[in-house]
Amino acid sequence: MLETRNLDKSFGAVHVTRDVSFRLEKGERRVILGPNGAGKTTLFNLLAGELIPDSGAIMLAGEDVTSLPVASRARRGLSRSYQKNTLFDGLSVEENLGLAASIHTGFGTRLWGDSLSRPEVREIVEDVAAQVNLQPYLHARVSEVSYGVRRQLEVGVALATRPRVLLMDEPTSGVGPEMAGAFHALLAGLPRDLTILIIEHDMDLAFEVADSITVLNYGEVVFDGAPETARGSDLLKEIYLGSWEHA
Protein backbone atom coordinates (compact mmCIF):
# COMPACT_ATOMS: atom_id res chain seq x y z
CA MET A 1 0.00 0.00 0.00
CA LEU A 2 2.82 2.42 0.90
CA GLU A 3 6.42 1.99 -0.06
CA THR A 4 9.54 4.12 0.22
CA ARG A 5 12.54 3.47 -1.98
CA ASN A 6 15.94 4.80 -0.93
CA LEU A 7 14.62 8.09 0.42
CA ASP A 8 17.26 10.72 1.05
CA LYS A 9 16.87 14.23 2.45
CA SER A 10 19.44 16.78 3.61
CA PHE A 11 19.13 20.27 5.02
CA GLY A 12 22.42 21.87 4.03
CA ALA A 13 25.16 19.70 5.52
CA VAL A 14 22.75 17.85 7.81
CA HIS A 15 21.73 14.51 6.37
CA VAL A 16 18.35 13.83 8.04
CA THR A 17 17.06 10.90 6.01
CA ARG A 18 19.45 8.31 4.62
CA ASP A 19 18.48 5.68 2.13
CA VAL A 20 15.20 4.83 3.89
CA SER A 21 13.29 1.94 2.34
CA PHE A 22 10.35 0.02 3.73
CA ARG A 23 7.04 -1.35 2.55
CA LEU A 24 3.64 -1.41 4.23
CA GLU A 25 1.07 -3.96 3.13
CA LYS A 26 -2.63 -3.16 3.18
CA GLY A 27 -3.92 -3.17 6.75
CA GLU A 28 -0.43 -3.31 8.27
CA ARG A 29 0.29 -1.28 11.41
CA ARG A 30 3.89 -0.20 11.60
CA VAL A 31 5.46 1.84 14.36
CA ILE A 32 8.47 4.06 13.73
CA LEU A 33 10.72 4.29 16.75
CA GLY A 34 13.84 6.31 17.31
CA PRO A 35 15.34 8.89 19.65
CA ASN A 36 14.80 12.63 19.25
CA GLY A 37 16.44 13.90 16.08
CA ALA A 38 16.35 10.48 14.41
CA GLY A 39 14.44 11.92 11.45
CA LYS A 40 11.01 10.43 12.19
CA THR A 41 8.96 13.59 11.62
CA THR A 42 11.07 14.46 8.56
CA LEU A 43 10.19 11.04 7.16
CA PHE A 44 6.49 11.77 7.78
CA ASN A 45 6.82 15.15 6.07
CA LEU A 46 8.40 13.42 3.08
CA LEU A 47 5.62 10.83 2.95
CA ALA A 48 2.86 13.46 3.26
CA GLY A 49 4.46 15.72 0.65
CA GLU A 50 5.35 18.61 2.94
CA LEU A 51 8.98 18.00 2.00
CA ILE A 52 10.34 16.75 -1.31
CA PRO A 53 13.13 14.15 -1.07
CA ASP A 54 16.54 14.81 -2.64
CA SER A 55 16.39 11.32 -4.08
CA GLY A 56 14.35 8.16 -3.81
CA ALA A 57 10.70 7.44 -4.44
CA ILE A 58 7.40 7.11 -2.58
CA MET A 59 4.78 4.73 -3.93
CA LEU A 60 1.14 4.85 -2.80
CA ALA A 61 -0.95 1.87 -3.93
CA GLY A 62 1.50 1.30 -6.77
CA GLU A 63 1.51 4.92 -7.95
CA ASP A 64 4.62 7.08 -7.74
CA VAL A 65 3.53 10.10 -5.66
CA THR A 66 7.03 11.47 -4.98
CA SER A 67 6.48 14.71 -6.86
CA LEU A 68 2.80 15.19 -5.98
CA PRO A 69 1.81 18.03 -3.63
CA VAL A 70 0.28 17.43 -0.22
CA ALA A 71 -3.36 17.89 -1.27
CA SER A 72 -3.03 15.48 -4.21
CA ARG A 73 -1.59 12.78 -1.95
CA ALA A 74 -4.39 13.38 0.55
CA ARG A 75 -6.99 12.99 -2.20
CA ARG A 76 -5.37 9.66 -3.09
CA GLY A 77 -5.99 8.44 0.43
CA LEU A 78 -2.91 9.46 2.43
CA SER A 79 -3.95 11.27 5.58
CA ARG A 80 -1.98 12.40 8.60
CA SER A 81 -2.34 13.65 12.13
CA TYR A 82 0.18 15.99 13.69
CA GLN A 83 2.32 15.84 16.81
CA LYS A 84 1.13 19.32 17.74
CA ASN A 85 -2.60 19.84 17.34
CA THR A 86 -3.54 21.65 14.14
CA LEU A 87 -7.23 21.91 14.90
CA PHE A 88 -9.62 24.76 14.20
CA ASP A 89 -9.99 26.12 17.73
CA GLY A 90 -12.85 28.54 17.08
CA LEU A 91 -15.03 25.77 15.64
CA SER A 92 -16.89 22.97 17.38
CA VAL A 93 -15.67 19.37 17.41
CA GLU A 94 -18.46 18.55 14.95
CA GLU A 95 -17.45 21.38 12.61
CA ASN A 96 -13.83 20.21 12.68
CA LEU A 97 -14.84 16.73 11.62
CA GLY A 98 -17.34 18.17 9.14
CA LEU A 99 -14.74 20.35 7.51
CA ALA A 100 -12.54 17.32 6.80
CA ALA A 101 -15.50 15.22 5.67
CA SER A 102 -16.80 17.95 3.36
CA ILE A 103 -13.41 18.20 1.64
CA HIS A 104 -13.36 14.43 1.17
CA THR A 105 -16.88 14.35 -0.28
CA GLY A 106 -16.28 17.34 -2.57
CA PHE A 107 -18.75 19.62 -0.79
CA GLY A 108 -15.92 21.69 0.65
CA THR A 109 -15.66 23.76 -2.51
CA ARG A 110 -19.37 24.06 -3.33
CA LEU A 111 -20.76 27.57 -3.45
CA TRP A 112 -24.32 26.92 -2.38
CA GLY A 113 -25.65 25.03 0.58
CA ASP A 114 -24.19 24.23 3.97
CA SER A 115 -21.77 21.34 3.47
CA LEU A 116 -22.19 20.20 7.08
CA SER A 117 -25.85 19.43 6.59
CA ARG A 118 -25.23 17.07 3.64
CA PRO A 119 -26.18 13.46 4.49
CA GLU A 120 -22.85 12.17 3.12
CA VAL A 121 -20.92 14.52 5.42
CA ARG A 122 -23.18 13.83 8.43
CA GLU A 123 -22.65 10.10 8.00
CA ILE A 124 -18.86 10.45 8.09
CA VAL A 125 -18.98 12.83 11.08
CA GLU A 126 -21.16 10.46 13.11
CA ASP A 127 -19.14 7.42 12.10
CA VAL A 128 -15.77 8.99 12.97
CA ALA A 129 -17.11 10.51 16.20
CA ALA A 130 -18.10 7.00 17.27
CA GLN A 131 -14.72 5.57 16.21
CA VAL A 132 -12.70 8.05 18.28
CA ASN A 133 -15.21 8.42 21.15
CA LEU A 134 -16.10 12.04 20.49
CA GLN A 135 -19.92 11.86 20.58
CA PRO A 136 -20.23 13.61 23.97
CA TYR A 137 -18.15 16.56 22.75
CA LEU A 138 -19.59 17.13 19.26
CA HIS A 139 -21.15 20.51 20.06
CA ALA A 140 -18.33 21.79 22.28
CA ARG A 141 -15.84 24.27 20.90
CA VAL A 142 -12.35 22.85 20.50
CA SER A 143 -10.97 25.61 22.73
CA GLU A 144 -13.26 24.34 25.53
CA VAL A 145 -12.36 20.63 25.52
CA SER A 146 -9.48 18.91 27.33
CA TYR A 147 -6.10 18.23 25.76
CA GLY A 148 -6.83 14.51 25.60
CA VAL A 149 -10.05 15.12 23.67
CA ARG A 150 -8.15 17.37 21.27
CA ARG A 151 -5.67 14.56 20.62
CA GLN A 152 -8.60 12.25 19.83
CA LEU A 153 -10.02 14.92 17.52
CA GLU A 154 -6.63 15.32 15.81
CA VAL A 155 -6.87 11.66 14.81
CA GLY A 156 -10.59 12.00 14.05
CA VAL A 157 -10.03 14.85 11.60
CA ALA A 158 -7.48 12.71 9.74
CA LEU A 159 -9.92 9.78 9.70
CA ALA A 160 -12.77 11.94 8.37
CA THR A 161 -11.05 12.02 4.97
CA ARG A 162 -11.60 8.24 4.79
CA PRO A 163 -7.90 7.48 4.22
CA ARG A 164 -6.35 4.31 2.91
CA VAL A 165 -3.11 5.08 4.72
CA LEU A 166 -3.03 6.99 8.01
CA LEU A 167 0.17 8.60 9.27
CA MET A 168 -0.01 9.35 13.01
CA ASP A 169 2.71 11.53 14.48
CA GLU A 170 2.92 10.73 18.21
CA PRO A 171 -0.84 10.43 18.83
CA THR A 172 -0.30 10.07 22.60
CA SER A 173 2.10 13.03 22.83
CA GLY A 174 1.47 14.93 26.05
CA VAL A 175 -1.31 12.71 27.39
CA GLY A 176 -1.23 10.82 30.70
CA PRO A 177 -1.03 7.01 31.12
CA GLU A 178 -4.80 6.69 31.44
CA MET A 179 -5.43 8.54 28.19
CA ALA A 180 -2.64 6.58 26.50
CA GLY A 181 -4.51 3.42 27.48
CA ALA A 182 -7.64 4.81 25.85
CA PHE A 183 -5.63 5.42 22.69
CA HIS A 184 -4.60 1.73 22.65
CA ALA A 185 -8.29 0.81 22.53
CA LEU A 186 -8.99 3.52 19.96
CA LEU A 187 -6.30 2.23 17.61
CA ALA A 188 -7.40 -1.35 18.11
CA GLY A 189 -10.92 -0.35 17.11
CA LEU A 190 -9.98 1.19 13.75
CA PRO A 191 -10.88 -0.77 10.60
CA ARG A 192 -8.41 -3.59 9.95
CA ASP A 193 -8.06 -2.67 6.27
CA LEU A 194 -6.69 0.77 7.20
CA THR A 195 -2.92 0.90 6.81
CA ILE A 196 -1.35 2.82 9.69
CA LEU A 197 2.14 4.21 10.20
CA ILE A 198 2.75 5.61 13.69
CA ILE A 199 5.59 7.59 15.19
CA GLU A 200 5.52 6.76 18.87
CA HIS A 201 7.70 7.14 21.94
CA ASP A 202 5.42 5.08 24.14
CA MET A 203 7.01 1.61 23.92
CA ASP A 204 3.99 -0.12 25.45
CA LEU A 205 1.71 1.33 22.78
CA ALA A 206 4.25 0.53 20.08
CA PHE A 207 4.60 -3.11 21.03
CA GLU A 208 0.87 -3.52 21.61
CA VAL A 209 -0.45 -2.15 18.30
CA ALA A 210 2.41 -2.78 15.88
CA ASP A 211 2.51 -5.56 13.31
CA SER A 212 6.03 -4.41 12.49
CA ILE A 213 8.58 -1.95 13.82
CA THR A 214 11.07 0.28 12.07
CA VAL A 215 13.78 1.94 14.11
CA LEU A 216 15.44 5.08 12.81
CA ASN A 217 18.66 6.55 14.08
CA TYR A 218 20.55 9.44 12.52
CA GLY A 219 18.06 9.28 9.64
CA GLU A 220 18.71 5.66 8.66
CA VAL A 221 16.83 2.45 9.25
CA VAL A 222 18.74 0.42 11.84
CA PHE A 223 16.04 -2.13 12.57
CA ASP A 224 13.08 -3.43 10.59
CA GLY A 225 11.17 -6.40 11.89
CA ALA A 226 8.57 -7.90 14.17
CA PRO A 227 7.80 -6.36 17.59
CA GLU A 228 8.88 -9.56 19.36
CA THR A 229 12.33 -9.31 17.79
CA ALA A 230 12.56 -5.59 18.57
CA ARG A 231 11.59 -6.12 22.20
CA GLY A 232 14.69 -8.18 22.89
CA SER A 233 16.97 -6.17 20.66
CA ASP A 234 20.15 -4.92 22.34
CA LEU A 235 20.50 -2.40 19.52
CA LEU A 236 17.19 -0.75 20.45
CA LYS A 237 18.22 -0.52 24.09
CA GLU A 238 21.55 0.97 23.13
CA ILE A 239 19.93 3.58 20.90
CA TYR A 240 17.48 4.67 23.59
CA LEU A 241 20.13 4.55 26.32
CA GLY A 242 22.51 6.54 24.12
CA SER A 243 25.47 4.19 23.71
CA TRP A 244 24.84 3.52 20.01
CA GLU A 245 27.09 5.55 17.75
CA HIS A 246 26.55 6.41 14.14
CA ALA A 247 29.26 4.90 11.90
Partner 1 sequence: MFRHTPLRYIALALLAAGALFQAATAGYFGLEILIEILILAMLVLALDMVAGFGGMVSLCHGALMGVGAYAFATFGGILGLTPLVSLVGAIALTGATAWVIGAVCARSHGIYFIMATLAFGQMAYSYVFQTPFFGGDDGMGGIERLDLTALGIDLTDSRSFALFCLGVLGLVYLATVAVLRSGLGRSLTGVMHSEQRMRALGLTVWRVKADVFGLSGMIAGLAGALSAMHIMYISPGLLDWTVSGEALVVVILGGLGTLVGPMIGAVALVVLKHELSAITPYWHLVVGLLLIGVVMSRANGIFGWIEAQIGARLDKRLNDITRPQPTEEPRDA
Distance of CA 233 to the CA centre of its chain: 25
Between 95 and 200, name the residue whose CB sits nearer to partner 1: 95
Q: Is 113 in the site for partner 1 (CB under 8 A)?
A: yes
195 binds partner 1 (CB under 8 A): no
- DSSP per residue over 94-137, as a string? HHHHHHHHHHHHTGGG-SSS-GGGSHHHHHHHHHHHHHTT-GGG
**9-13 — which CB contacts under 8 Å span 24+ positions?**
9/39, 9/42, 9/46, 9/51, 9/53, 9/54, 9/219, 10/54
CB 90 to partner 1: min, Å = 7
62 binds partner 1 (CB under 8 A): no
Q: With binding defined as CB under 8 A, does residue 54 bind partner 1?
A: no
Contacts (CB under 8 A) with partner 1, residues 116-155: 116
- Check residue 89 for interaction with partner 1 (CB under 8 A): yes
88 belongs to the binding site for partner 1 (CB under 8 A): yes
Part of the chain binding partner 1 (CB under 8 A), chosen from 11-19, 89-97, 132-140, 204-212: 89-97
**CA 95, CA 101: separation in Å to the nearest integer?**
9
The answer to whether residue 70 forms part of the interface with partner 1 (CB under 8 A) is yes
Asked if 240 interacts with partner 1 (CB under 8 A), we say no
From the CB of residue 226, how many other CB atoms can be counted at a distance below 10 Å? 11
Q: Which residues bind partner 1 (CB under 8 A)?
A: 48, 50, 69-71, 74-75, 79-80, 82, 86-91, 95, 98-100, 102-104, 107-116, 157-158, 161
